Structure 1
Amino acid sequence: MPLASSSAPPLPSAKEAPSAVPAKPPANLNVLVLSIDSLRADMPWAGYPRAIAPRLTELEKRSVSYTRAYAISSYTSMSLGGFLGGRLPSELKRSGYFFGTYPEANLFFPEILAGKGIRTLSAHAHAYFNSAGFNQGFDKYEIVPGIKFDNTTDPNVTSPQHEAIAERLLSDPALDTTRFFAWFHFLDPHDQYLSHEKDGIPPYGKTLRDRYDAEVTFTDQWLGKLFDFVESKPWGKHTAIVITSDHGEGFGEHGRYSHGFEIWENLVRIPLFVMIPGVTPRRIDTPRSTLDLAPTILELFGLPPEPSFTGKSLVPEFYGGAPEERDVIVDLPMTSNNDKRRALVHGKWKIMAFGKEESLKLFDLEADPQENSPILRGEDFDAMAKRYRAFSKTVTEVAPYACGENCLNGAYEKKKAAP
């Protein structure tokens, strides 16, 4: 069974959607993006048997939900940089450190929103967000106070404080009369997988996945509190909620744990669903990427496309349009910690490129969802290799401006890991 193949109660599929010309978003729509760090695709709404996220599961039932959604990359810096910049991280100006920084020379979509008078709000729960450059274009941008920074793990519990900051920022009376975009990236499912027994969440077991599941349940409770707050506000009736993640998580697949460094399905398949008041819920099985979110959010606010953004708006699909087949790209540039990886997903096929030399391996995700049996020759390989090479010619690679030889040869010096 492919990762996150749904055995949950079915929503209408894209094929059952009405064929009428898609409607437009309402003129007063707000957008709230809630991204959850390390949230895998195999969640309860996608058939995972343990009910670890009841509030997210309930919201997914009221949403347009993508069953084959991909993160832009396999770890936070690259995925969120691409999300904000509307481009592959390889195409953005950035340092070459693992904890990468993005200079103001990049255009981030919140800057476009703020330039049109839309209020922009954000708060985060990891010290890296102080230096990443993700604050570009936000009127309000805060970090949960008292966070301990460790460049090898995350020892903090932050959802209660984070949710409180989100409520405070969203309580601004100006939002009753001004459209807004808000983004909050919740961190608690991220390693370390800490106990929350004192918060009423009993352990599911002793394995890493058991402990991770308890972290998801803890985060879900606080997201539910935020959902209730949003619904209590006058503007809640015209606010879209986007749920997604920056990457998945490893529990021994391909001998790896945590995330980053590789782009296997368990590391890059993620949840993606969008609840828009008045929009008919359904599930869409066509592969999509969080690279599509920047142009989607611009269209939800009635703004024209930004020509430099390489994703494509999902708004027509929200309003009943038939999803078109198109390729999805996963991009992991070389950094101080990892070699280059890139993948192209086309239908059931996923071709992966390894290293600067881009050695290629093809996988049939229907027949081999765990990616254990690479295809290295044959007609299917040749066709996908040709497709990948043609795509690669369209990428405008931007070399990192820092990290020097470490970025060029993939070596890692721990003392230079953090910017």
Structure 2
Amino acid sequence: MTDRDWKHVILLSADALRADHLSSYGYHRKTSPVLDELADESIRFGNAYSASSHTREAVPALLTGEYPDIAIDDGYRLATESVASTLSEAGFATAGFHSNPFVSRAYGFDEGFDHFDDDLHLGQHKLVALAQRALDKLRNRHYARADEINERSLEWLDSLDSGRSFFLWNHYMDTHGPYEPPGEYATRYADREVSGREAQKLYQRAIDDPESITDAERELLIDLYDAEIRYNDARIGEFLAALRERDLLEESLLIVTADHGDAFGEHGYYEHPRYLHDEITRVPLIVRPPGGAAEEVETPASTLDVGATIEAAVGSEATGDGVSLLGTLPDDRTVFSQARGEDEHGHLRRYASRTAEGACFCERDRESGTIEFGECAGSALREELEAHVDERVRVENGESVEDDEEVDEEIERRLDALGYK
């Protein structure tokens, strides 16, 4: 395909959505009927991996096509050009809608967007911000629900001049913990309704003290998580229907993916800490060009490829480490992931590589320079990962860049509600 086969680019990403909990990826529950149908008319990548395991590194990689050690600085601020900037320079109207504080304007992620709604109103109008904060606390609201994201983004689409090419990024937070499926979804899989307070306490305890979680509590967490997936899937369906009503879908390159997954004790932890196991790095990846497609690709793919695909779609030369997903991927491809340690493990860097044959993991100590390898599917894969780590060491600047701007208390409140504090 050429860059003239579509007018618009739409990127839909879900926070903490693991691939193996979607029915389109073989899950035993029918959690994603909308994405199932979309996958049938798209290119579905069965083995796609995020460039990292948590939002602060995964979303920058997704939006730039660069590994996190280039995409962001030591303060997690955006440090390189995103696809929004590339498309804006190419004449596209650009907009982003989400409510994750880690990729808000406070960290520079509004760069390149004509319209950037990160659901943080402080600094826009103080009285509105105070009223919003009071209402949010009363409603126990941690993020904008998918229906809100849809409403805001469709309103922006309807405001554009007819015929104007656009880039739209919607990032949905519903599948991020604490898992509190709304309305009818609350008992979709759970046999009883769980209060918001109970769901939050259980989620936080799973993070803080995973060994205390019983089998029944683990199953309850999964029930609630799956229900959030079903809710989010339905809202994506509503958004796609709205695009069809506006005759926009057939003019658009549509990409659906996630920034990372979520764990349920498979390796002794819950949520998505700074590790690189499959449950927190294997993500859905569905690419629908205008007119659709019907293809399944099992060759490993990376979220870095999203940026490369978008850049190729508008005729720009890819500057990052990804490749276009609309081309043919080599059968022997290797994809890599990385994650920075945090707090007392801030000196550690973790890396993983994946091929059709398996995976390899290692951990590098920046202070001592030593590398420890974990599970590895063969010596060849180990050597390849070791060479990759050497390359990342060469591009690492080693300098600490402090963010002098204090993150406002609205961001702190949101992060606390999402289980990060």
- Smaller-chain TM-score range? 0.7 to 0.9
Find out whether 1:163 has 2:142 as its counterpart: no
Aligned to 1:102: 78
| Gap change, CA 1:164 and 1:363, over 3 Å in 2 | same
Native 8 Å contact 2:54 2:272 kept in 1: yes
Q: Cα offset for 1:304?
A: 2.7
Find out whether 1:177 has 2:163 as its counterpart: yes
Native 8 Å contact 2:185 2:230 kept in 1: no
Find out whether 1:137 has 2:148 as its counterpart: no
After the TM superposition, which residues 332-351 of structure 1 pair with which residues of structure 2 at under 5 Å, given as runs? 332-336=339-343, 338=345, 339-351=348-360
Aligned to 1:330: 337
Letter of the structure 1 residue corresponding to residue 163 of structure 2: T
Q: Cα offset for 1:337?
A: 6.7
Report the Cα distance in structure 1 between the residues aligned to 2:41 and 2:33, rounded to whole angstroms.
13
1:283-314 per-position Cα deviation (integer Å, ceiling 9, x unaligned): 000001001111110111222333xx111122
Aligned to 2:9: 31
Report the Cα distance in structure 1 between the residues aligned to 2:141 and 2:352, rounded to whole angstroms.
28
Work out which of the residue numbers 361, 372, 376 in structure 2 matches 1:352.
361
Aligned to 1:304: 317
Work out which of the residue numbers 49, 60, 69 in structure 2 matches 1:70.
49
Aligned to 1:241: 254
Q: Give the number of aligned pairs.
A: 356
Aligned to 1:291: 304
Report the Cα distance in structure 2 between the residues aligned to 1:45 and 1:157, rounded to whole angstroms.
26
Native 8 Å contact 2:48 2:300 kept in 1: yes
Q: Cα offset for 1:199?
A: 4.4
Report the Cα distance in structure 2 between the residues aligned to 1:126 and 1:345, rounded to whole angstroms.
28
Task: Give the CA RMSD over aligned residues.
Answer: 2.7
Report the Cα distance in structure 2 between the residues aligned to 1:337 and 1:134, rounded to whole angstroms.
27
After the TM superposition, which residues 46-65 of structure 1 pair with which residues of structure 2 at under 5 Å, given as runs? 46-65=25-44
1:259-289 per-position Cα deviation (integer Å, ceiling 9, x unaligned): 1221111110010011112243110000010
Report the Cα distance in structure 1 between the residues aligned to 2:52 and 2:66, rounded to whole angstroms.
11
Report the Cα distance in structure 2 between the residues aligned to 1:159 and 1:147, rounded to whole angstroms.
19
Aligned to 2:202: none
Aligned to 1:256: 269
Report the Cα distance in structure 1 between the residues aligned to 2:284 and 2:38, rounded to whole angstroms.
12
Q: Cα offset for 1:172?
A: 2.2
Find out whether 1:203 has 2:191 as its counterpart: no
Work out which of the residue numbers 382, 385, 390 in structure 1 matches 2:387.
390
| Gap change, CA 1:278 and 1:337, over 3 Å in 2 | farther
Native 8 Å contact 2:180 2:186 kept in 1: no
Q: Cα offset for 1:353?
A: 0.9
Report the Cα distance in structure 1 between the residues aligned to 2:6 and 2:289, rounded to whole angstroms.
12
SS of residue in 1 equivalent to 2:234: helix
| Gap change, CA 1:345 and 1:203, over 3 Å in 2 | same
Q: Cα offset for 1:192?
A: 0.4
Native 8 Å contact 1:296 1:312 kept in 2: yes
1:208-266 per-position Cα deviation (integer Å, ceiling 9, x unaligned): 00000111111112111111111111333211211100001101111110112211111
After the TM superposition, which residues 6-17 of structure 1 pair with which residues of structure 2 at under 5 Å, given as runs? none
Letter of the structure 2 residue corresponding to residue 180 of structure 1: F
Q: Cα offset for 1:132?
A: 2.5
| Gap change, CA 1:418 and 1:61, over 3 Å in 2 | closer
Report the Cα distance in structure 2 between the residues aligned to 1:298 and 1:282, rounded to whole angstroms.
22
Alignment identity in percent? 25
Work out which of the residue numbers 80, 85, 94 in structure 2 matches 1:120.
94
SS of residue in 2 equivalent to 1:131: helix
Q: Cα offset for 1:384?
A: 2.4
Report the Cα distance in structure 2 between the residues aligned to 1:136 and 1:337, rounded to whole angstroms.
32
Native 8 Å contact 2:13 2:259 kept in 1: yes
SS of residue in 1 equivalent to 2:253: strand
Native 8 Å contact 1:127 1:147 kept in 2: no
Native 8 Å contact 1:30 1:301 kept in 2: no
| Gap change, CA 1:162 and 1:280, over 3 Å in 2 | closer
Q: Cα offset for 1:178?
A: 1.6
Work out which of the residue numbers 46, 55, 69 in structure 2 matches 1:90.
69
Q: Cα offset for 1:108?
A: 1.8
Letter of the structure 1 residue corresponding to residue 387 of structure 2: A
TM-score by length of 2: 0.78
Report the Cα distance in structure 2 between the residues aligned to 1:337 and 1:80, rounded to whole angstroms.
24
Report the Cα distance in structure 2 between the residues aligned to 1:173 and 1:91, rounded to whole angstroms.
33
Unpaired runs of 5+ residues, structure 2, are 121-131, 191-218, 405-414
Report the Cα distance in structure 2 between the residues aligned to 1:324 and 1:171, rounded to whole angstroms.
42
Question: Higher helix proportion, which one?
Answer: 2
| Gap change, CA 1:28 and 1:66, over 3 Å in 2 | closer
Unpaired runs of 5+ residues, structure 1, are 1-22, 365-379, 405-413
Native 8 Å contact 2:85 2:111 kept in 1: yes
| Gap change, CA 1:398 and 1:79, over 3 Å in 2 | farther
Letter of the structure 2 residue corresponding to residue 168 of structure 1: E
Report the Cα distance in structure 1 between the residues aligned to 2:133 and 2:175, rounded to whole angstroms.
16
Aligned to 1:192: 178
After the TM superposition, which residues 264-283 of structure 1 pair with which residues of structure 2 at under 5 Å, given as runs? 264-283=277-296
Q: Cα offset for 1:147?
A: 6.9
Report the Cα distance in structure 1 between the residues aligned to 2:292 and 2:62, rounded to whole angstroms.
24
